[in-house]
Structure 1
Amino acid sequence: MLAAFKICSGTWNELSHDAKAIRESVFIQEQHIAPEDEWDELDAVSIHFVVYEYDQAIATARLLENHSIGRVAVLETHRGLKIGQQLMQAVIDYAKHEQRPFLKLPSQVHAIGFYQALGFKQQGESYLDCGIPHMDMYMALQ
């Protein structure tokens, strides 16, 4: 039986409690990113997205004013269920509705194929961010 997934978008004030818990689990605990590297002033000015399975927050992402998507995370217990794909499609649809010209994101190298399947293209050279190999990716929307 398929669970009922709901995707909410809103401000950091509205969604921080749930988004924070997911990011702490995925980035700080799993990937060993330092808390001071995870939390920044951009949260306050971003649109946040949280996926809920019933009442449990299971995935999150944020969309910045500069059209950059970041902090995309799915709880380990819910990976492989296409939740990340649904989350990203919600962010893309939101950006299209706002008539943004493009989207960009810093992909961890292991996730490049995931973003390519959504229509993002690699841009530039790979680089290290918090000790993790990344590649910038880009999608034109108009």
Structure 2
Amino acid sequence: MSVFTLVETDWARDAPRLGAVRRRVFVDEQGVPESLEWDAHDAVSTHWLALADGAPVGCARLLPDGRIGRMAVLPAWRARGIGRALLGAALVEAQARGHRTVRLSAQLHAADFYARAGFVVIGEVYEEAGIPHVAMQKTLPSV
């Protein structure tokens, strides 16, 4: 079993650690242009870091409008429950904020992961940063 902890944070406090995971996964591994990876949503979002021995191994963010995004887990740490934990933390926070519907833009290869968490596909496959994506959403129970 892999030991990791989740930390809720923000961009002002943890941009270097959040950015390190996202750069490695999205820019280096998947070829997303740097100009598309960083946006104004970072500063206004709630972020989570997954840490193993103090080192960042995963991240996610929740935008003020209830969209979840920038979920990333380093390759060596995948399939260990980190993505599920990050998604769960974002869903709990979205529900606490009173969001009834949560949306995300899933890379097509990850759609099954989100479907297992109760997300459903809405719309057709589209390309973003050269990667096939699909819009997904989940209705949350009221608090």
TM-score (norm 2): 0.94
Give the paired residue count.
141
Matches within 5 A, 1:84-123: 84-123=83-122
Give, in whole Å, the separation in 2 of the partners of 1:103 and 1:20: 24
Cα distance in 1 for residues equivalent to 2:38 and 2:3: 30
Asked if 2 retains the 8 angstrom alpha-carbon contact of 1:109 and 1:133, the reply is: yes
Could you tell which deviates more after superposition, 4-13 or 132-141?
Answer: 4-13
Q: Tell me the percent identity.
A: 35
Instruction: Choose 23-32 or 78-87, whichever is displaced more.
Output: 78-87
TM-superposed CA distance for 1:53, in Å, is: 1.1
Q: Any idea what SS the aligned residue of 1:99 has?
A: coil
Matches within 5 A, 1:9-48: 9-48=8-47
Deviation of 1:3 after TM superposition, in Å, equals: 3.8
> What is the rounded CA distance, in whole Å, between the counterparts of 1:31 and 1:122 in structure 2?
22
Please give the alpha-carbon distance, in whole angstroms, between the structure 1 residues aligned to 2:2 and 2:128: 34
Partner SS for 1:28: helix
The CA deviation at 1:119 is 0.6
Gap runs ≥5 in structure 1? none
* Distance in 2 separating the partners of 1:52 and 1:35: 24
In the alignment, the residues of structure 1 paired with residue 23 and residue 119 of structure 2 have an alpha-carbon distance, to the nearest angstrom, of: 26
Q: Which runs of 4+ in 1 moved over 2 A?
A: none
Give the distance between the partners of 2:118 and 2:2, measured in 1 at CA.
26
Quick check: 1:126 aligned with 2:134?
no
- Amino acid paired to 1:111: A
Shift of 1:76: 0.5
Query: Counterparts of 2:82 and 2:48 in 1: how far apart (Å)?
Result: 12
Structure 2 unaligned segments of length 5 or more: list them. Answer: none
Instruction: Assess if the C-alpha contact under 8 Å between 1:3 and 1:54 holds in 2.
Output: no
Letter in 2 for 1:37: L
Cα deviation code 1:23-48 (max 9, x no counterpart): 00000000011100101111011111
Cα RMSD, aligned residues only: 1.0
Distance 2:80 2:3 in 1: 12
CA deviation after TM superposition for structure 1 residue 99, in Å: 2.0
1:80 Cα deviation after fit: 1.3
TM-score, scaled to structure 1: 0.95
